[in-house]
Amino acid sequence: MIPAQLFCWHFMAYPHLPADFDEKYDSGWVTVPNELWDSEKSKGLYQEYIDQLALADRLGFDGVVLNEHHQNVYGLAPSPNLIAAALTQVTSHGKIVVLGNLLPLHMNPLRVAEEYAMLDMMSGGRIIAGFAPGGGPETFNYDIPSAPSREKFWEALDLIVRAWTEDGPFIHEGRHYPLRYVNPWPQPLQKPHPPIWVPGSRSPGTLIECAKRGYCYFLSSRSHGAATGQAREQFTKVLEDHGRKYHPLRMGILLSAYVGTDDQTAREECQEGVWYFLKNLLKGHLRTEGRQLTFGPGVPYIPTKAWRQYLETSKPGRKLLGDAENWEELDRSNSILVGGPDTVFERLKNLVDNSQVGNLLIQFHLGNMPNDLTCASMERFATQVAPRLRAYSAKLFAQRFPHMEDELARAEAAQ
C-alpha cells in the first residue's frame, strides 16, 4: 500500500523586516527596497534554513522542497539549485524537489538540463525536477513578456526532456531556443529522467499539457476549499482524455502547518510567524492590500478566451489568503493548519479525503518563526502526525485507487 508522500517545503523567508513594515511599504515584492536587507543580521540564515531541511530528511520526510523567487522578501532562493546542491551533501534519504526552475527566466534551457543532471548525480538520483513559467512578479523582475511565456515554457521543457532522453548531439529547431548542438554532459542518474512536476492554477492549458506528458500536476493554490477537489476532478478528466488514469501521486498541493503540544499553545507559539508571513510576505502576492502582482490584466499570460471565463466567474477585489483578519478566517481558508497533533491530523485527514491528492508539500517555517519552534513543530509532525496520516492515506488510496500500486510498480520497473 502506498501512503501520501509528505514533503517539507522551505520558502526561505526574510525574517528581519521592521515591525512597521506593513504600514510603511506597499509591497514585499519587486519594489520592496533592498536597503531593508541586513547582511549582519542575516549571517547564518541560509545555514539555519538548510539545517532545518536536513532535519526534515533525518525525521523521515519523503522529501524537501525548494522554489525560485526573485527580488522579494517571501523567498530568498533566486537560485534554488544552489540550495539543492548543498542539500545533496547533508541529506541522504528523501527526494529533493526543486519546484521549480523558472524556465522563461533562463537564457538557455540547456543550462537547466545540465544543472538538474548534476544535482541528480550528486544526490544519487533523488532529484524531482520541477519547472514553472513564472508568475506576475517574475514578469516585472526579469522583464519577461507574459503573453508568449507559456509557449516558451513548453518549448524549453520539451527540449530539456529530449536532451535527457535522446542521444546527442542533435539540432533543436525551436522558435524560441534554436540550438545547433544539444549534447549535455552529464546526464541524470534516474532513467528515463527525473520525475517532472509542473505547477498550475487550474488553467486548462497547463492541465492538458501535463496530462499529455504524464507529469505530476502541482496545484499552486495555498488555500484549499472546494476548488482543490475540483482541480483533481478536472485533472482526472483531462488524464482520461489522454489515456491515463488519475491516482493521488499524480498531483501535489501546498499547505502550511504548525504542530504544537496542544491547540492553545500551538496558536500562541506560531502567531507571530503566521501573521508576519500573511501581512508582510504575502503583500504584493496573495493580499489585495497594496498592488497584487501575481495575477491580473497587467500580466496577460492567460489566453483571451480563458480570461473572459475568468472574468465571468470571479468577483473583483475578492479576499485573498493574506487578507485574513483573524484565526477564524484563516482556518476557513484551509491553508495554514495550526494545532496540537490531533487537530492537525484531523484536518489533514479531511484534506486528503476531500482532495484525494497524494503529494502533500508542507511549509513549516513561516515568516520570522524562530529555529527552535520550527524544528519542534517538524518533530511533532514527524512523530505524532505523519505515522497516522500515512496509515490512513495508504488505506484510503488502496481502496479508491486500486490501480495505483501496479502502475507505480511498473513505472519503477521501467527505470
**Contacting positions for another protein (CB under 8 A):** 136, 139-140, 143-148, 151, 288-293, 296-300, 304, 307-308, 311-312, 315-318, 320
Q: Nearer Cβ to another protein, position 145 or 178?
A: 145
Written as one letter, the residue type at 8 is: C
Least gap, CB of 263 to another protein (angstroms): 32
Nearer to another protein, 22 or 120 (CB): 22
Q: How far is the CB of 285 from another protein (least distance, A)?
A: 11
Distance CA 80, CA 127 (A): 12
Provide, rounded to whole angstroms, the least separation between the CB of residue 347 and another protein.
28
Query: Judged by CB, which is closer to another protein: 282, or 320?
Result: 320
Q: What three-state secondary structure class fits 132?
A: strand
Q: Report the alpha-carbon distance of residue 404 to residue 142 in Å, rounded.
A: 41
Q: Is the dihedral of CA 287, 288, 289, 291 positive or negative?
A: positive
CB 312 → another protein: shortest distance, Å? Answer: 7
Helix (H, G, I), strand (E, B), or coil: what is residue 398? helix
How far apart are the C-alpha atoms of 336 and 278, rounded to whole Å? 10
Peptide bond just before 186 cis, omega within 30 deg: yes
Q: Please, which residue, 172 or 291, has the CB nearer to another protein? A: 291
Alpha helix (H) residue ranges in 130-203? 136-141, 149-165
Tell the smallest beta-carbon distance from residue 302 to another protein (Å): 9
Backbone angles phi, psi at 148, to 5 degrees: -90, 5
Q: Between 43 and 315, name the residue whose CB sits nearer to another protein.
A: 315
Grid coordinates of 190: 534516474
CB of 75 to another protein, least distance (A): 20
Distance (Å, whole) CA 146 – CA 31: 19
β 216-219/251-259 pair status: parallel
Compare residues 203 and 288 and give the one whose CB is closer to another protein: 288
